[in-house]
Each structure stands twice: as C-alpha cells, then as structure tokens.
Structure 1
C-alpha cells in the first residue's frame, strides 16, 4: 500500500514556529503563520477567527518565501480567553478548502477541530521538557522490613502477585519512600526528571486510592519524614516530585466519612452524597468502600483543595510535591444533574498557583477530555485517548475483537491511517498547550504491561520510540524499562527485581536510556511542533520542528513500501539519533527511508527543514 504524502500540504500548529507567542495574555495581538508548499497549488488564504461568538475572515500577507514555499501571516486579537481559528484556502478543485487541526477539507467544517489559543496562565516552564517516572510505592523498593497491617496479606519481595481476585488489593510487599530515595540514580539514568507517586496517604489497601486520612503520609511508607527526604533528594538533583490525589472519593475508613456515618447532623455528613443515611450513599462505580464527595459543600472544598489551608496546598512545596495528578478527574464533581467539574479544576488550579506558581496540575482521563480542557483548570490529562490507545491499536497483534459491556472499549488492530487520524482528531479538539502537556504513556499501574501486550521486543521499541518523540509529557511506568510482564493492571504491579538482574531485559534498559536521553538533548522533541509527512497502513513519518532544530521520525510496525521524501522538505542529509544510522540523498534529490519493520528511526535534519535561511519577504512570485 502506497503512503499518503502530506509534505506538499500547507501546515500550521500551535508551536512557537507558527505562533508569535504561544502563551499570550488577554488583549494581546498574536501573529499566526501558515506554511504553504508551492506544490500545494494554494496561492491565497484568509484567517477565519471567532471572537465573542461571531466569525470573521481576516486578510493574510506574505511573511517570507523561496522557490519551494511561502509563509503567510495574519494577526488576531486575544479578546476572549480562548480564541479559535482556521484557514480558508484557494487551490482546491473548486477553489475552496478549509485547513484546521485535522488537515484539509473541501467542505465546510465545525469549529470543534479549529486551532485554539488560550490566554489563561501557562503551565510551568519545566513541564515542557519533563519525563515522568511512575512508581507504585508498595512494589518499587524497600528500605526496611515493617510488620504488615491488619488488613494486609504479607508477602516476601519475590512472591507472585495475585493478578485477579478479591485478595489483589491486600497483598503487602512493603515498598517505601526511602527505598525510592535510594534508587534515584537508576531513575535519572533513564532520562526521567520527575517522579510521580501513586497515593501515599494511609489506607486499607496496597493501592491507597481509599485514603483514610489526608493529614499524614502512611507510616508504612516511612511517614512524613520519608516524603521530605525523598523530595529534598530529588530537588538536590534538579528533579521533581508529583503526588496523586483522589478528589472524587475517599475510603470508607476515612475520618471524615466515619464522622459522617456516626452523626447525620455533622458538617462532614455534607461532604458525601447520602441517599439514605447511614448505609446508602453514592460511591465510585458502586464500590461501597469508596464514597463519593459532594463538591457542592463549601467546607469540603475548603478542606480538600480551596485555599492555603487545604490538603492540596499543604503538601506542595520544597519538602513536598511539585504538582498533583488528580485521580478519576473526569468524574470529580459530576453526578446526575450536577456538574461541578470545571469549578473543581479551576479552584484546584487557583490554589496551586497561589501556593506554588511552578506547580503542575494533571488529570486522569481515559477518553475525550476536550470539554474539560477549555477552561483554566487542568494543565493536561493522561492521554489514553489521543496517544495510548492509538499506539496500542496500531502495534497489537491481530486478534478477534470482543464486544463486551463494561467500562472499557476493546482494542482492535487498526491501520496507520486510522490511528494517525485518531491522534489528529483528539489533538485538534484541544489547545496546543494541552497537547504539549498531555501525559503520554504506553502503560501504567492500571493497564497490562506493554511487553506482555505486544510480545515482540521490536514492537515494544516502536512504542517507546513514539513515547519519546511525540508531543506531550512522556511517562515511564516503573519496570517497563526492564521488560517486566503483566497481563492486566494488578498483574503488572510486580515488585521491581532489584536483587535479580538476570530477570531484567538489559537491551530494553539500554534502548530506553538512549531514547529518553536523546529526547532530553533535543529542543525539537521537547518543544517543537508536529508536522505529518507520510502515512500508510504499516508505517508513518513526521517532523518535530523548532526554531533551531528539526527532527524526523519514521515508525514502522512491519515491512512496507519505501517512502521517498524530497530533499526540499528534509534536507540532503539526516543525522541518526538514538542509534539510527545516517542517511544521505540519492541522485533523484530524495531521501529513501528504511522500509523494514518493526522499527523506529530518528534523525536530525541537516540543514534544518525549519530553517528560514534563503527565504525573502515580499509578494507571492
């Protein structure tokens, strides 16, 4: 199957190459640029904007040009906190086509996939280049042996994890925070600079999403002092620490809920959604052990996340967390006819900004989060919909697709055209800033291990390559870097085999280090835009572009037809990164990309395709 070639199409994205200020303030005038290859046939464009709910078409002018392309520019005013825009182009068979976040269309389109600029305060600068390392504290590393609590099933470190069944939440292996502190050199060697911990508050399970208090760190993890030691050790290395908070619910052993059960007239009784006191109440997915919070209650908001005395504020700071990941954020504040989710997210953001302006706010979300990313709330969400599922769908082995009722959609095997279409759809529905700060992942404590799902180590390398090169904040799930296995989320929470290096996949470890250290050294991979070049069933190619660097990425799940890209697009020579061999142009003034697979290849373009050298200002010639 021949590839769909996109390099001759106009291009725009929300990065600094195409937007004069990606983080404008309200009232500011911003210049946006459209890159137009002459081969596209486009000669004119108008910028369609929507201000105060009404559309307008704005004139564009030539910014610069050469024999191969020209750049158009237009100015728009940030009169609203979020301004959406798209381009109206000539050059189609009918002389009428729209260009938006999903590409070219020869028909009218909705505003849903417009490009968007937001005047809300931006995420902290450090987040753009961050690489997160997710740790499930009970299973990562242990500093000392502690007696198991009364709810637990005590296990030796090397024992088998129960992957399914009622005992899974109660296996206790005894990992703790000082154990993590002792392993920071390993984490840093991966190119990760931010540790993300699943919950650390006391609970009656190993996952701790059923908190019994938010006032202390679980003594089983070493208590408050161990958190301080971990935070200080990370900060001394220039690294950061993210916490995990359940704003949707707590555990039925939580002190607030016990007071609410005991006294229907207590303040705390208003924190929950009782339908008949004391034994009928709303809970997460019907689990009575996880009572849902009532965010209409002002005292709950004050204690949990509103203001300097809240739980959210208390645990931020130099001896605590640098940000929060909010568990089941998509459900928080939502029940029946009540939807307070935006209020929760914006209040959380305000409290964090007042407490620590450099704090990062990420949200768990498993599907379309576009409506939740249009306000001054989450900086980004876990990108299961726009990254994880497409990667799984493209790389997974062919198998029958089950159609089963339940909370999760099945994972079919799809073509490169389909999964790139999904990626473009989900990215187009949110501001570029949200795409840039989406938490990308190929696995987590809630999923199967990527090594188990894909089987073929070459396919796993492709998944890791995309994780290291796509826009967003990549997250490594502890153990994936050594090829740990797991058929589901519980099975994947196996203790890290520190004392058994023979169980490690050392090739996977070396590849992981190479990929993410390459990302850290590349301005384009950390900060650049995304320009799709070629897409076919078994392979696709894209550019990451910044002002000073352009990186070409080619991913393949199988052998495929060769892709030949003109040197006018990517230059005459490609410098291999992360172990990729260099490539040179042939006599036909094209560069032929490798056609074997599964494989991922990464090159720095020379000269940079993003270079404006030789471009001149003036009218279209």
Structure 2
C-alpha cells in the first residue's frame, strides 16, 4: 500500500472523474422489483459490483445487513450472474417492519466497505442513510410519472366575464401588464383579475408544453390575491368564477386525460374565516377549540394575527377539516369537483406548536380520507428544508422538493452571492460535487419510493424566478434539463417556460404574456417542451433508478435505467475538460441523441464534450 492510498480511500465518492468503478444499488427496477411489498414479503434486492473488483470477492464477498425490530441482522448475498462489466449479487430482505432498512457490506482488499444510499464508505456511518423498503402505498402513477404545472390563478389568464365582477374593498385593481409589487402590503392586494375560466381557455398551452397535472394555488374566498387566508372552505371565490367555474375547469382538464390538484391550508385560516369569527364571538362555541391560544390571545402563524393557527387537538376540527368523505379534504375530491389531490400549505408546521406535535397524525388522517374517497389521489406537502422526518410514506406521498433538488441546484448554477429571503447572508456558488453530495445526502434519508415521487422544482410562487436567479437562458435550459430527467415529478411554475422574471416570491407572481409576444422567450419554451417531452418517450426517465456517473466542479451526469433501456444525462454550467465514459455503457455502439449535442463513441469510450453550458440526454443502446 502506498502512502497515497489511504487518502484515496478517504476521498468522497463524488470527487472522482467518473463514478462507475464502484458497487451500486438503488431502488429502481434494475435492483428492486417494482411495486409495493406487504408485511412478511421477502424482496430480492440486487447489487452490482464492477467485474474487475468482483473477481477477488468470491461467492461470499457481499453481505446484506437488515434492521429487524431495531436489531441488525446479517446474511450473505449470493452471486446472480455476471458479464465483462458487472457481477451481480442478490439477497432477500424480509419486510418485517412497515419501513425496513438495509445496507450492504462489500469485501475489499483494503477492508470491507459499507454501501448505503449515501454511497460507499470505508468507515461506519449512521443508519439514516440506509436503503429502505416501505409497505406504504405510493403516489398514483399519474403524479409520479407526469409533469406538474403550477398556476397562481389571479395571474394566469382573465376570462371575458372577469371585468364584470365587483372588486372587493381590500383589493387594488391592476393592469394585466403591470409589474407585481415585490414588497409591502400591496403584494397581497394587487388584483390582476385572472380566473378559472381563463385557465380553462388556455389548457391547449398546457398540453402543448407537455404537462399532465394542473396544480392550482388556493381558490377559496379570502382577503388577498394569494388566498392562503381562507374565509371559508365551503365555496370557490366568486372572483375566480365560483363553484361552477371549478366544476367546468376540472371536467375540461379530465377530458384531456390530465389531472387537477388543489391547495389547502391545514395549518391556519384567515382571520375572516367563519370558524374564527365564531371562535372570537362565543368562547363556548365548538370553533373556539379550533385555534391555538396563549396568554395574549389567539396564536397567529409566524406571528401574523391575520392567519390564526389551527389546533388539531380538537376532534371536531379534525372531523370537519380532515376526516372522511364529508370533510373539507374529502368533499372537494368528490363530484361535482373531483379534484385529484391536495398540495398542503406549510405542511412542515401543520399540527405543530410548542409541545404539541400532531403533524404526522394530520398527514395520516388526510391520507386515510383520500383512501376512502379517491384512492388514486395524491397528497403533497410544502416543505422548504429537510423533510425526511415527515416522509416515512404513510402520510404525505411527497413534498415540494426544495432541499434535495432546488436548493442544491441553485447553489451550483447561480452566481456567487445568490440569496435566499430567509437567510441573512449571501450564499456561495458551489461545485458540481457539492451539489451531488447534497442531493444524495437528503435523498438517502427517505425511501426510494418517496424520492421517485417528489415534486422537483426550479422555483415557485414563493421564490425568485429561475431566470432571474441564473440570468443566462442557457443555464436555465441546463436547470430545466435536470428538472425533466431527475427521479420524481418535474414541477414548472407558470411563466418559467417563457422566461418570466421576479426577484422574490411576490415579484415572481407575474402575469402570463398571452398578448405580449415581446415578453415570450420562445427558445426557452422550446427547450422546456423538448425536455418535458422526453419523459413520455423514455420509460427510464419516468421509472428508472439513479446512478451518478459524473460530478466535477462544472459538470455532472447520471444514468437512468430500467430493464431494456439506459439513458445518460449530462449537464455543464460552463466550459470544462470533458470526460470519456466507458464504452460498455453502449455495448452495441449505438447512441441516440434525445436532446443536446451528439456524443463521440468508439472503442475507447463515450466522449462527453467539454463545451458548456449545455444539457444532453442520450439513449444508450
């Protein structure tokens, strides 16, 4: 052993030119059978080891460690075929607990190494990075395999009937082409007049873009344009066209074989909500127990008195809001509205206040109602940081994936000193290896079944626009390429496909430029359309596992694989050295370019070019 070897052994696995010379396992169908196991099932899990290393392993060189009732147990994996590239080993994992964790121990001349969802390590590592099997049902296929389009109704499109509706006293009418306010009280009062009929009139745009799921931010009556301060959960805001407009929109969406998801605040209501009005007027009313109180009176979400916080210790609140077909959660999933699921606002705070923590109970209650009313509905939580403690799989199907996708990607592509509103200092620009480490670290803490159905995003109505954050349209295309090809469902905020700008969440709530071709970046639209379309044509991009193959400062890449199909994705934020990947990735020599530059492929390997910025997607035969 040379003096350099210990340092090499201690290098992080994502600091290497390419990452194909190490054992690999993920939750995709190449390694784990598709489907949801039941308690007592024995699931074969397969791991691949590079053939060059496998020769020294023998038949007992891979061990699986399964945690059963909190106690680790070990078993030798058996050989399961090999070729000139990989040797495969398989072991059976008994699903004894609802979430069953496992990892592999792989023999090595320098000492056995752990293989977990966090990667290969030469030291002991915590269990929170283990692979996991879960008996909890997955999100419906339409949600995890499709593309989601977020619409902020006031800013998407006006129907001809919008002008005739009375303007409420709290609102400030705005011209459609005016710039949204970025700060101050006006952000919630600027009424541009978009409505549900306007959305219905532009469903052709959604189909042309290639999205499958329409996600609407709240449509309940309120005293703001964002409507997260609901005044009732019983009706659709008349400013949006009322109940009939939602019935019509949902039916039109469904006729196109698309789905529609609503947005619900289970953490708070508005101060004008009928429940809160009754709670304040009569201490003996049932609604008086619906809200948290302290010595100063009712508790407001983050101190905002206009957003009183719901107290889920109230059985009557849970009955009305969460539980059963007649609850708020249930009735909007039923005819005549027939929503296909809910996105839940500030899901990370729902049910939590001081010593009270009912967050998981709230999520499970909602999930049970979905199972009763609409078993193929989806439940997605809003969560801006590490959501792993809330994603065992029995509550939220998934979350809006800021921590494991958006924020690492921003840190790689944005210029030095980029900002987050909640962080009081500029953020650094990080290299590709750091981005990959963050993505792997966060994803390793949840079951693969959850990773494969997360709602990934580049921005939303709560963040700066991706075009403003990155500046360069070429970098926006890089970001969109990773969004469209990464495990999970890509979510596009309406307007991003046309290059909309905005410095923060409020300023980002721009109107769609239907009558302003000068505000539409057609090159960006074409890139989004092309990239989202790849998911329809390549099963590997919808259902495949994830194997990182490249993580340098300025370029990253990964494989998505299912039996019979392998897709390579590579992205560069600027010029870099390029890399030659092993020729065996395309043993027949055929490489089909799906997006981006062509590759050079010969007996020496597959040459990924050193140009940039670019994103490339290739099917390897």
TM > 0.5:
yes
Q: Which residue of 1 aligns with 2:92?
A: 75
Q: Which residue of 2 aligns with 1:613?
A: none
1:434-486 per-residue CA deviation (whole Å, 9 max, x = no partner) reads: 10111100010001111111111111000000000100111010000000111
Farther off after superposition, 140-149 or 434-443? 140-149
Preserved CA contact (<8 Å) 1:201 1:214: yes
Taking the aligned partners of 1:24 and 1:320, their CA distance within structure 2 comes to 29
Taking the aligned partners of 2:249 and 2:614, their CA distance within structure 1 comes to 37
The alignment's C-alpha RMSD in Å is 1.6
Query: 1:289 Cα deviation (Å)?
Result: 0.2
Taking the aligned partners of 2:377 and 2:85, their CA distance within structure 1 comes to 44
Taking the aligned partners of 1:581 and 1:382, their CA distance within structure 2 comes to 31
Taking the aligned partners of 2:195 and 2:339, their CA distance within structure 1 comes to 16
1:281-303 per-residue CA deviation (whole Å, 9 max, x = no partner) reads: 21111110000000010000000
Query: 1:4 Cα deviation (Å)?
Result: 3.1
Query: 1:128 Cα deviation (Å)?
Result: 2.4
Q: Which residue of 2 aligns with 1:374?
A: 392
Q: Which residue of 2 aligns with 1:212?
A: 231
Taking the aligned partners of 1:124 and 1:110, their CA distance within structure 2 comes to 31
Q: Which residue of 2 aligns with 1:328?
A: 346
Preserved CA contact (<8 Å) 1:435 1:472: yes
Change (3 A) 1:450 1:21: closer
Change (3 A) 1:409 1:285: farther
Change (3 A) 1:116 1:400: closer
Question: Secondary structure in 1 aligned to 2:406?
Answer: helix
Query: 1:136 Cα deviation (Å)?
Result: 0.2
Taking the aligned partners of 1:427 and 1:410, their CA distance within structure 2 comes to 25
Question: Quick check: 1:15 aligned with 2:32?
Answer: no
Candidates 493, 497, 504, aligned match of 1:481:
497
Q: Which residue of 2 aligns with 1:299?
A: 316
Preserved CA contact (<8 Å) 2:393 2:450: no
Q: Which residue of 2 aligns with 1:618?
A: none
Q: Which residue of 2 aligns with 1:434?
A: 450
Q: Which residue of 2 aligns with 1:594?
A: 609
Q: Which residue of 2 aligns with 1:229?
A: 248
Q: Which residue of 1 aligns with 2:529?
A: 513
Candidates 258, 274, 287, aligned match of 2:277:
258
Q: Which residue of 2 aligns with 1:499?
A: 515
Farther off after superposition, 1-10 or 326-335? 1-10
Query: 1:421 Cα deviation (Å)?
Result: 0.1
Q: Which residue of 1 aligns with 2:157?
A: 141
Preserved CA contact (<8 Å) 2:600 2:608: no
Preserved CA contact (<8 Å) 2:24 2:48: yes
Query: 1:409 Cα deviation (Å)?
Result: 7.8
Query: 1:102 Cα deviation (Å)?
Result: 1.1
Q: Which residue of 1 aligns with 2:64?
A: 47
Taking the aligned partners of 1:421 and 1:193, their CA distance within structure 2 comes to 30
Question: Secondary structure in 1 aligned to 2:110?
Answer: coil
Query: 1:15 Cα deviation (Å)?
Result: 1.2
Q: Which residue of 1 aligns with 2:9?
A: none
Question: Quick check: 1:287 aligned with 2:307?
Answer: no
Taking the aligned partners of 2:418 and 2:244, their CA distance within structure 1 comes to 51
Question: Secondary structure in 2 aligned to 1:499?
Answer: coil
Q: Which residue of 2 aligns with 1:169?
A: 188
Query: 1:551 Cα deviation (Å)?
Result: 0.5
Taking the aligned partners of 2:598 and 2:563, their CA distance within structure 1 comes to 22
Question: Secondary structure in 1 aligned to 2:89?
Answer: strand
Q: TM-score of the superposition, structure 1-length normalised?
A: 0.94
Taking the aligned partners of 2:418 and 2:238, their CA distance within structure 1 comes to 46
Question: Quick check: 1:113 aligned with 2:132?
Answer: no
Taking the aligned partners of 1:503 and 1:553, their CA distance within structure 2 comes to 30
Question: Secondary structure in 2 aligned to 1:529?
Answer: coil
Change (3 A) 1:400 1:115: closer
Change (3 A) 1:409 1:137: farther
Query: 1:581 Cα deviation (Å)?
Result: 4.0
Candidates 406, 411, 414, aligned match of 1:393:
411
Q: Which residue of 1 aligns with 2:3?
A: none
Question: Secondary structure in 2 aligned to 1:48?
Answer: strand
Taking the aligned partners of 2:83 and 2:561, their CA distance within structure 1 comes to 19
Taking the aligned partners of 1:84 and 1:545, their CA distance within structure 2 comes to 23
Change (3 A) 1:417 1:287: same
Taking the aligned partners of 1:401 and 1:253, their CA distance within structure 2 comes to 34
Q: Which residue of 1 aligns with 2:37?
A: 24
Candidates 112, 117, 136, aligned match of 1:101:
117
Question: Secondary structure in 2 aligned to 1:289?
Answer: strand
Change (3 A) 1:8 1:587: same
Preserved CA contact (<8 Å) 2:158 2:193: yes
1:152-205 per-residue CA deviation (whole Å, 9 max, x = no partner) reads: 001121122111112110000110000000000001111101100000000000
Q: Which residue of 2 aligns with 1:314?
A: 331
Taking the aligned partners of 2:410 and 2:451, their CA distance within structure 1 comes to 19
Q: TM-score of the superposition, structure 2-length normalised?
A: 0.94
Q: Which residue of 1 aligns with 2:360?
A: 342
Question: Quick check: 1:198 aligned with 2:214?
Answer: no
Query: 1:410 Cα deviation (Å)?
Result: 5.3
Question: Secondary structure in 2 aligned to 1:211?
Answer: coil
Preserved CA contact (<8 Å) 1:573 1:583: no
Taking the aligned partners of 2:519 and 2:66, their CA distance within structure 1 comes to 56
Preserved CA contact (<8 Å) 1:392 1:411: no
Query: 1:26 Cα deviation (Å)?
Result: 1.4
Taking the aligned partners of 1:401 and 1:216, their CA distance within structure 2 comes to 38
